[in-house]
């Protein structure tokens, strides 16, 4: 099958090409992201393969359909960037990689916590400059701290297990409770109870209309003063403007994010020789207690293996008319 792979980065090509040896699909790579302005690149292709920051809205899907595209295959678990209603109307199937490495993202969330807390990034830079002072490097013990986990799917569950290993009290909020996690000692509570009790809050829920700006000025007001907030899920779960105000007031004591609501204009690009035209993220980076990473939580060898394997299997299942176990349908 002929596939147009958008937002293709050099580190992905190695994995996709390796696993494609068993499938023999014709993969054509484009560095450009997919949006209404780049749909002509997909002319003559049966499928497009996209990533988290490609914009697959209604106009893009309608243009893809006119170009003959029958399949949208996401190299990601999230699909909030795809208009599923428009895809269904155009009879275009949407597939994804539902869980490529929950441990990778969970471990990155812990890395953000440890770095913000023990300030290892600051110590590293100081020592390289000959400064061996301990001033302003004080952290706190994670042991016996209360960690609130919003969303206990595969990533959230993996994160819970890690934090239990630190000796933390782990409380959680999710529409679906995991009996396995309860058996391990996780306590499910209301959102308000979680917000008011947690020393650290970590987001592991999907982005949808119900969770858009889940954390805002109202929910920040219910948190402990000085709370640490971690987001490795989706940027728009947090109202960034409200988060900045919470940082200024001291309500947020630490903020670690691997995602950002306007990241499509920034992440996965080298802008080191450019002026960043985003005043909000520039303001965030000015805080000493904010740590931003460029959506790298998934970025492990194991995850890249799994993404390539499942992505190529999705192509083959579609081409051969097999059951589409990773299909994303409207309302599901």
pLDDT digits (tens, 9 = 90+) for 127-165: 999 999 999 999 999 999 999 999 999 999 999 999 999
Mean pLDDT of the chain: 96
Domain shared by 45 and 8, yes or no: yes
Distances (CA, A) of 218 to 28, 41, 96, 281, 293: 47, 44, 34, 22, 26
Domain shared by 71 and 25, yes or no: yes
Catalytic residues: 234, 263, 295
Which helix (H) or strand (E) segment holds residue 187: the answer is strand 187-188
pLDDT above 80 (res 315): yes
Q: Given this model, what pLDDT does residue 101 score?
A: 85
Read off the pLDDT of each residue in 221-230 and give the average, rounded to a whole number.
99
Q: Identify the band that residue 12 occupies on the pLDDT scale cut at 50, 70 and 90.
A: very high
Which helix (H) or strand (E) segment holds residue 171: the answer is strand 169-173
Q: Given this model, what pLDDT does residue 113 score?
A: 99
Contact status, residue 207 vs residue 231, Cβ threshold 8 Å: no
As given in the structure block, the two tokens for residue 271 are 């802008």
Taking only the tens place, the pLDDT of each residue in 14-47 is 999 999 999 999 999 999 999 999 999 999 999 9
Distances (CA, A) of 180 to 156, 163, 177, 188, 308: 13, 15, 9, 12, 30
For the chain, what is the domain count? 2
Q: Given this model, what pLDDT does residue 332 score?
A: 59
Read off the pLDDT of each residue in 82-97 and give the average, rounded to a whole number.
97
Domain shared by 182 and 244, yes or no: yes
Domain shared by 111 and 83, yes or no: no
Domain shared by 111 and 236, yes or no: yes
Domain shared by 144 and 279, yes or no: yes
d(CA 96, CA 12): 16
Q: Given this model, what pLDDT does residue 99 score?
A: 84
Q: Given this model, what pLDDT does residue 166 score?
A: 99
Domain shared by 132 and 146, yes or no: yes
Domain that holds residue 25: 2-100+300-320
Coil, helix or strand for 301? helix
Q: Given this model, what pLDDT does residue 136 score?
A: 96
d(CA 79, CA 197): 32
Neighbours of 144 (CB within 10 A): 10
Q: Given this model, what pLDDT does residue 249 score?
A: 98
- Please report, rounded to a whole number, the percentage of residues in the chain having pLDDT higher than 70: 100
Domain shared by 48 and 118, yes or no: no
- pTM of this structure: 0.91
Read off the pLDDT of each residue in 250-260 and give the average, rounded to a whole number.
98
Read off the pLDDT of each residue in 235-252 and give the average, rounded to a whole number.
98
Coil, helix or strand for 243? helix
Read off the pLDDT of each residue in 227-243 and give the average, rounded to a whole number.
98
Provide CB contacts within 8 A for 45, sequence distance 6+: 2, 3, 4, 28, 67, 68, 69
Domain shared by 286 and 183, yes or no: yes
- The answer to whether residue 330 sits within a structural domain is no
| Angle at 112 (CA atoms; ends 52, 199), nearest 5 degrees | 115
Domain shared by 68 and 110, yes or no: no
CATH number (domain holding residue 77): 3.40.50.720
Least Cα distance to 142 among 110, 104, 105, 186 occurs for 110
Taking only the tens place, the pLDDT of each residue in 190-207 is 999 999 999 999 999 999
pLDDT above 70 (res 254): yes
User: 149 φ, ψ to 5°?
Assistant: -115, 115
Taking only the tens place, the pLDDT of each residue in 264-278 is 889 988 898 988 989
Domain shared by 111 and 228, yes or no: yes
- Please report, rounded to a whole number, the percentage of residues in the chain having pLDDT higher than 90: 93
What sign results for the dihedral spanned by CA atoms 211, 213, 216, 220?
positive
Domain shared by 119 and 194, yes or no: yes
């Amino acid at each position: 099958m002929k596939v147009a792979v958008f937002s293709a980065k050099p580190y992905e090509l190695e994995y996709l090409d390796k696993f494609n040896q068993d499938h023999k699909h014709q993969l054509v790579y484009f560095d450009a992201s997919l949006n209404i302005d780049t749909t002509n690149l997909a002319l003559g292709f049966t499928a497009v393969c996209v990533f988290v920051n490609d914009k697959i809205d209604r106009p893009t899907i309608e243009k893809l359909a006119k170009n003959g595209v029958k399949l949208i295959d996401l190299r990601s678990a999230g699909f909030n960037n795809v208009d599923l209603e428009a895809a269904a109307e155009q009879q275009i199937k949407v597939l994804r990689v539902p869980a490529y490495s929950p441990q990778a993202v969970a471990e990155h969330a812990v890395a953000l916590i440890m770095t913000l807390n023990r300030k290892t990034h600051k110590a590293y830079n100081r020592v390289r400059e000959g400064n061996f002072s301990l001033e302003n490097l004080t952290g706190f013990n994670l042991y016996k701290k209360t960690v609130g986990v919003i969303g206990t799917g595969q990533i959230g569950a993996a994160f819970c297990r890690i934090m239990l290993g630190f000796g933390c009290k782990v409380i959680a909020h999710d529409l679906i409770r995991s009996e396995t996690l309860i058996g391990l000692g996780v306590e499910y509570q209301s959102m308000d109870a979680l917000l008011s009790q947690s020393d650290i809050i970590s987001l592991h829920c999907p982005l949808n209309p119900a969770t858009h700006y889940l954390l805002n000025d109202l929910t920040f007001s219910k948190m402990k003063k000085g709370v640490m907030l971690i987001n490795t899920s989706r940027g728009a779960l947090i109202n960034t403007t409200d988060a900045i105000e919470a940082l200024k007031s001291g309500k947020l004591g630490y903020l670690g994010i691997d995602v950002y609501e306007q990241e499509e204009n920034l992440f996965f690009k080298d802008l080191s020789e450019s002026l960043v035209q985003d005043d909000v993220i520039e303001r965030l980076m000015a805080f000493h207690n904010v740590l931003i990473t460029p959506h790298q939580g998934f970025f492990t060898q194991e995850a890249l293996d799994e993404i390539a394997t499942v992505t190529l299997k999705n192509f083959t299942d579609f081409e051969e008319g097999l059951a589409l176990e990773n299909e994303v349908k409207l309302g599901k």
